[in-house]
Structure 1
Amino acid sequence: TFDYSSRQLSCEHGGRRVSRYELDGTVTVIADRFDGRPLNSPNDVVVHPDGSIWFTDPPFGIRGDYEGNQAERELKEAVYRVDGASGRIAMVTDEVNAPNGLCFSPDYSLLYVADTRDRDMKVWDVDGTQLRNGREFTTLELPTGGLSWADGIRCDTDGNIWCGARPGVHIVAPDGDTIGVIRLPEVCSNVCFGGAKRNRLFITGSQSLYSVYVGVSGAHIC
């Protein structure tokens, strides 16, 4: 994702860190440890207007050498917040088993987090620098039965959540009901709104990149 100064933020499974690419090409490490122990494998990251950086830290990158480097887990899976002024990292919740994609609601009052292991999506109320009242938001059902799981997620200006999953992109209304699916011939890993009016949805698949114009605009910078 990008911050409000147009700098790219990246989650690195191999490096087990969150990095920022400065405008001059240098790299700043935003977070790589918590309480003196290395992070697992940061997976997704979003920014808040107060300058803070929020990210998920599942174990996907340390379970083997496919996505990162196999290693022992030293921290429980969690969601973290990095203060924009001090750089202090704080755990905002560990009430999630495999935190994956995350996004804020349009007014930043809610934080949604995809839980891959539980095959659901959870939501919290944002209370300043903390999260309150964590609860299940929705599950994604496969057309053939059973449950899919969300990977990367983004919010539009109407408060709908666009979820990378199987068999494509699931669109979930603010009440948790699925209102549409963009079918793909492969698994969707992430989505992002772009274009001049932020109404062009970019979709990453297992082996392909797609784009489609949609009838809404993305809520936040991507």
Structure 2
Amino acid sequence: MNSELYEMRDPRFARLIHRDAGLRRIATGFEWVEGPVWFPAFRMLLFSDIPSQRMMRWTPDGTCAVFRDPSGYSNGNTRDPQGRLLTCQHGTRSVTRTEADGTVVTLASESGGKRLNSPNDLVVKSDGSIWFTDPTYGIDSDLEGYAARPEQPGSHVYRIPPGGGKAVPVITGFVQPNGLAFSPDESLLYVAESGGSHDSSAPPVIRVFPVVGDSLGPEREFARIEDGRPDGIRCDANGNLWSSARDGVSVFAPDGTLLGKILVPETVSNLCFGGERGIRLFITATTSVYMIAVNARAAGWPAPASNRRGNG
């Protein structure tokens, strides 16, 4: 095993990685990259460079080009069940959807008659409901948005019902909620606490909530990040949780055991599974985007077409 790339804590980690796989930097020269999302239909990775107010597009032929400029200080991105792009925008303090014709529609920008802080990351449940976090990073200064005073009483996690409607807070106990992910069967919601950036007493934890209909049950601590704070998180098809950290990507078993780490030379902000067969892990880290082959896929990944070839 490459000791400079992997840190094994549990034998189960060996089944999730390829011992001789290399970490490849596929794009660099950015200010602060975030929000990676893979679009199988277009064989492309989209990601945000927040301070430069651009969204970028990378394809397996090595091309990296501007997808949207200005991007409204976009941060987190994901796909909905129809394959449309959903985005958290700091600049407009909103959650948006990009339609097939390129039209951008605002899905949420306020709650309780007051503007949201700065939506950060989001995930879509199979029923079409959209769950997103709303910390203050985009209004703390002019670097990642526009400096402003919060109108909301706190930084919450919100839910937009299937088909649209008002954004309703479903979690209110975080200092700065950040990344979030559902377990493969959607019975659990994981949420990262990155509040140490604002409150030194806030632990670098990932909390987990049972999903009860349209609401959530009592939380419990799932895991703690050893180096830095958790940011973006993803679940694979077997329920393992992959989390960003200052030293790379930390991988946790469904029982919360730290299985191991993929060490990255820059602070990791977010990650996603993708590639032709879904077995590539794309990692956004400070100024660069990295890719590595793994033995894992995202939950619900489409079956690969036998007559297609690609980057894995």
TM range (shorter): over 0.9
Once the two structures are TM-superposed, the CA of residue 220 in structure 1 deviates from its matched residue by: 4.7
Q: After superposition, what is the alpha-carbon deviation per residue over 1:2-29, rounded to whole angstroms, capped at 9, x for unaligned?
A: 1011110000111100000000110110
Helix, strand or coil at the partner of 1:42:
coil
* Higher gyration radius (CA): 2
Q: Does 1:175 align with 2:260?
A: no
- Following superposition, the deviation at residue 34 of structure 1 comes to 0.1
The structure 2 residue matched to 1:205, chosen from 277, 280, 285, is 285
* In structure 2, C-alpha distance between the alignment counterparts of 1:89 and 1:78, rounded to whole Å: 11
Per-residue deviation at 1:134?
1.1
Q: Deviations over 1:29-73 (max 9, x none)?
A: 010000000000000011011110110000111111111111001
The answer to whether the 8 Å contact 1:155/1:220 transfers is no
In the alignment, is residue 130 of structure 1 matched against residue 212 of structure 2? no
- Counterpart secondary structure, 2:138: helix
Question: Is the 2:87–2:96 contact (alpha carbons within 8 Å) kept by the matching residues of 1?
Answer: yes
Query: Which segments of 5 or more consecutive residues in structure 2 lack a partner in the other structure?
Result: 1-77, 196-201, 302-312
In the alignment, which residue of structure 2 is the partner of 1:185? Answer: 265
Please report how far the alpha carbon of residue 85 of structure 1 lies from its aligned counterpart in structure 2 after TM superposition.
2.3
- SS, match of residue 287 in structure 2: coil
- 8 Å contact kept, 1:41–1:59: yes
- 1:15 paired with 2:92, answer yes
- Measured on the aligned residues, the alpha-carbon RMSD in Å equals 1.1
What's the offset of the Cα at 1:100? 0.3
Q: How far 1:175 moved relative to its partner?
A: 1.3
The residue aligned with 1:145 is: none
TM-score by length of 2: 0.68
What is residue 116 of structure 1 aligned with on the other side?
194
- Counterpart of 1:67 in structure 2 is 144
Alpha-carbon separation, structure 1, partners of 2:297 and 2:87: 23
Which residue number corresponds to residue 111 of structure 2?
A: 34
State how many pairs are aligned. Answer: 216
- SS of the equivalent of 1:175 reads coil
1:149 to 219, 229, 245: 229
TM-score by length of 1: 0.94
Tell me how far apart the structure 1 counterparts of residues 205 and 300 of structure 2 sit (CA, whole Å): 23
CA contact (8 A) 1:79 1:92 kept: yes
Higher mean C-alpha displacement, 79-88 vs 41-50: 79-88
Indicate the residue corresponding to 1:140 in structure 2. Answer: 225
Q: Which runs of 4+ in 1 moved over 6 A?
A: none
Question: What is the CA-CA distance between 1:88 and the residue it aligns to?
Answer: 2.7
Shift of 1:86: 4.3
Query: In the alignment, which residue of structure 1 is the partner of 2:183?
Result: 105
Bigger mean CA offset, 169-178 vs 46-55: 169-178
Deviations 1:155-194 (A, max 9, x none): 0011111111111111111111211111111101110101
Structure with the bigger RCO (C-alpha within 8 Å, sep 6+) is 2
